[in-house]
Amino acid sequence: MSVAIRAEAGDWGAVRLEHVEAVAVSAARSLGGLRQDEPLAVVVRVVAGDAPPRALSSLNSAGEFVVEVNVLGPHWAQLAYQFTHEYCHVLANSTTFRPDRFSWFEEALCETASLFALRRMALSWSTAAPFPYWRDYAPHLLTYAAERITDPTHNLQAEATVKNWLPGALPLLERDLGRRAEQAIVANELLRVFESSPRAWRAIRSLHDAPRPAQASLEEYLSGWYALAPEADRNAVREISRALV
């Protein structure tokens, strides 16, 4: 994977830029999503706490994607969570993002990415942390992900399934991009897909190629993504679709 990540100087709350970069690099490597010959440059910028994390819709003057986070201090789990969500938008190409009624799906994928990366980082840091003295932090990464996954608002009742629940939830998801709990329910379902096939993250690179007809159903939208995805990634798109429709 050819990704270059740097942290921009700012008020990070008494942490070193190399530590911020180490967390971001670890998260990006956990996710993957790039071919070896596919370079990507990302700069991580800290913003005030009342400003939400985001991936900017345009490159900076150096040709880098810009990810903004609002984490101050050595809160590595929170930083990994925020960065990975926005890095997922970068993988999909945040410069070509256009909000519409299917935007909730990308948000759910990016929530999935955060959970996936935290769990992978917990494993890798337990034996090979970016710095040896970070090994003891590995359980905190796992706990942070577990708290999101097990949150009652992020789960359905035992007898319910996402496939049965989603048609009724779609009107809310399509109207309001802030429906984080519903997006997290979808993310928990998709996490199983990506943990079974981590290579599936490569399919996110073609997400914005999918046609988005105003009247298309979710199944039609996902079928359009499948049709335009690289052949090597189509099985991943199929498995994602099967999890939801």
For 123-153, write each residue's pLDDT tens digit: 999 999 999 999 999 999 999 999 999 999 9
**For the chain, which residues make up each domain, given as ranges?**
3-96, 103-244
Residue 165 in this model has a pLDDT that exceeds 90: yes
High-pLDDT (> 90) share of the chain, %: 94
Phi, psi of 24 (to 5 degrees): -65, -45
pLDDT range class, residue 35, cuts 50, 70, 90: confident
Give me the pLDDT at residue 1, please. 56
- Determine the average pLDDT of the residues in 34-60: 92
Give me the pLDDT at residue 39, please. 87
- Determine the average pLDDT of the residues in 206-229: 96
